[in-house]
């Protein structure tokens, strides 16, 4: 008899989740690695990637596939949207109403089986809007 495979509660996983819950900055895998390493100096980057991926698959956290070169992770799992600074790459939550109706519209406009959507705004954050050298891409 095979029991269903369960995700073990390892120290590494606990601490990754704890650290992710502490911040609202949508860190990249490498930033999570840096945060976690302060408490678990011997953790490997591979472990961080594996666990972030696993936690995203099981719905404990969100993997943000926003623009830029790296994936980002978010412990806030309620549906919400993001805004990314084109200058410095920072990603913030943006509190506007979730467009519940557009999945329906999308279903009518395509052959796809719609599973969800994400809106990403782009712009300049307060810090970068001031120091005003025309935004670079990314």
Q: Which residues here bind DNA, judged by CB under 7 A?
A: 5-13, 28-30, 40, 42-47, 49-51, 53-54, 69-71
Residue closer to a second copy, measured from CB, 40 or 94: 94
- Paired tokens of 31: 């930033």
Neighbours of 108 (CB within 10 A): 8
Smaller CB separation from a second copy, 20 or 83: 83
Smallest distance, DNA to C-beta of residue 96, A: 26
Contact 85, 124 (CB under 8 A): yes
Taking residues 99 to 128 in sequence order and writing x for each that binds a second copy by CB under 8 A, - otherwise, the string is x--xx-xx--xxxxxxxxxxxxxxxxxx--
CA atoms of 16 and 35, how far apart (whole Å): 8
Burial 49-75 (b: 16+ CB within 10 A, else e): eebbeebbeeebbbebebebeebbbbb
Binding site for a second copy (CB under 8 A): 53, 56-57, 63, 65-68, 83, 85-86, 92, 94-97, 99, 102-103, 105-106, 109-126, 129, 135, 137
């Amino acid at each position: 008899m095979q029991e269903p495979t369960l995700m073990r509660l390892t120290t590494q996983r606990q601490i990754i989740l704890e650290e992710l819950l502490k911040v609202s900055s949508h860190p990249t895998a490498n930033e999570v690695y840096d945060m976690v390493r302060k408490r678990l100096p011997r953790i490997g980057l591979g472990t961080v990637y594996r666990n972030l991926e696993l936690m995203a698959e099981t719905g404990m956290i969100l993997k943000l596939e926003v623009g830029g070169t790296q994936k980002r992770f978010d412990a806030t799992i309620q549906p919400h949207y993001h805004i990314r600074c084109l200058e410095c790459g920072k990603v913030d939550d943006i509190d506007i109403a979730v467009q519940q109706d557009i999945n329906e519209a999308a279903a009518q406009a395509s052959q796809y089986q719609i599973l969800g959507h994400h809106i990403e705004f782009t712009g300049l954050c307060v810090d970068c809007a001031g120091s005003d050298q025309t935004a670079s891409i990314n």
